[in-house]
């Protein structure tokens, strides 16, 4: 009977030195593994979020450009409608990020396109003004110079381009959230992903 167990593998206790070595290897590999895993996830997330932002600003620019899409319309686009349309789309894609609409209030309490170009232009500006994990959607408008009587030797319209329709820029700028929760990075906002996507087009003001 005793011979049945002869030669069977007996469980052995792991020597202390090997246990310590495994622990050290694990402690070295785990951060690297997590770094690679979170990095890959963040890269994928960044691509998805940027894709959503690109299509959102493109749609916003289309809306802005066709705001006066009837032959008689001379009005500037309604910035509130443009930012609302974009913000709605972005909120579904940019989870963990606050999407704020930026616009210049007009005299009637409405939301006019920003003709003074005061919209934040870099992610850092947004972070300083509104905090981390915030993107701002803004619609800015660049009007052509006013037409003046041409000087001698020049032809109307003067200056060149004064009869152009306004140039509308729809911008999404700020830092979007990553998979790393706030406070777990090496510094405040260390793993947040900067974004600065814009789309520009002329509005339709005159359509013969």
Partner 1 sequence: MRRSRRPGDDAQAVLETALVIPILLFLICNFIAVMVQVTVQEQLNAATALAAQSRFQAPDNAIDPPGMECCGTGHGALVTAGLPTGCRYAAASFYGTMTTYTGLLHWQLATLCTSGGGSGNAGNPPAQPVAYAGSPSSADVSCDIGSITAGGGVVPGYTDRALNPPSGLDVVECSASASLDFANTPLAWGVFWTPTLHARAEALPPPFRQ
Q: Does 157 bind partner 1 (CB under 8 A)?
A: yes
**Phi first, then psi: what are they for 200, rounded to 5°?**
-125, 140
Which of 73, 98, 101, 196 is the binder for partner 1 (CB under 8 A)?
A: 196
Between 116 and 155, CB nearer to partner 1: 155
Which of 22, 23, 43, 188 is the binder for partner 1 (CB under 8 A)?
A: 43
Nearest to 132 by CA among 50, 190, 51: 190
Which range touches partner 1 (CB under 8 A), out of 60-68, 102-110, 130-138, 183-191?
Answer: 60-68
Least distance to partner 1 from the beta carbon of 137, Å?
16
Between 60 and 189, CB nearer to partner 1: 60
In the shown chain, the binding pattern of residues 76 to 115 toward partner 1, with x for contact by CB under 8 A and - for none, equals ----------------------------------------
Q: Does 61 bind partner 1 (CB under 8 A)?
A: yes
Q: Does 24 bind partner 1 (CB under 8 A)?
A: no
Question: Is the separation of the CB atoms in 137 and 101 below 8 Å?
Answer: yes
- For the stretch 71-108, what's the b/e string if a residue is b when 16 or more beta carbons lie within 10 angstroms of its beta carbon? eeeeebbbbeebbbbbbebbeebbeebbbbbbbbeeee
In the shown chain, the binding pattern of residues 114 to 153 toward partner 1, with x for contact by CB under 8 A and - for none, equals ----------------------------------------
CA gyration radius, the chain = 29
Least distance to partner 1 from the beta carbon of 128, Å?
21
Q: DSSP string covering 45-93, please?
A: HHHHHHHHHHHHHHHHHHHHHTTT-STT--PPP-HHHHHHHHHHHHHHH
Task: Report the Cα–Cα distance between both ends of the chain, in Å, rounded.
Answer: 105
C-alpha 140/C-alpha 143 separation (Å) is: 10
Which range touches partner 1 (CB under 8 A), out of 44-52, 73-81, 91-99, 107-115?
Answer: 44-52
Which tokens go with 18?
Answer: 């090997």
Pairing state between β 134-142 and 98-102: parallel
Residues that bind partner 1 (CB under 8 A): 15-18, 36, 39-40, 43-44, 46-47, 50-51, 54-55, 57-58, 61-62, 65-66, 69-71, 155, 157, 160-161, 163-165, 167, 169, 196-208
């Amino acid at each position: 009977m005793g011979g049945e167990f002869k030669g069977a593998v007996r469980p052995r206790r792991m020597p202390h030195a090997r246990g310590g070595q495994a622990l050290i290897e694990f402690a070295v590999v785990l951060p690297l593994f997590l770094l690679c895993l979170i990095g890959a996830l963040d890269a994928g997330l960044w691509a998805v979020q940027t894709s959503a932002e690109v299509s959102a600003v493109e749609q916003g620019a289309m809306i802005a450009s066709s705001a006066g899409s009837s032959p008689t319309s001379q009005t500037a686009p309604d910035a509130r409608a443009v930012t609302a349309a974009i913000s709605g789309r972005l909120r579904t894609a940019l989870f963990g990020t606050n999407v704020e609409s930026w616009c210049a209030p007009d005299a009637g309490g409405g939301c006019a396109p920003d003709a003074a170009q005061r919209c934040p232009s870099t992610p850092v500006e947004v972070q300083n003004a509104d905090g981390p994990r915030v993107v701002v959607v803004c619609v800015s408008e660049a009007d052509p110079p006013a037409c003046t009587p041409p000087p001698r030797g020049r032809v109307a319209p003067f200056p060149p381009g004064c009869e152009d329709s306004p140039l509308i820029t729809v911008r999404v700028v700020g830092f979007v959230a990553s998979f790393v929760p706030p406070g777990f990075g090496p510094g405040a906002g260390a793993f947040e992903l900067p974004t600065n996507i814009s789309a520009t087009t002329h509005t339709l003001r005159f359509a013969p």
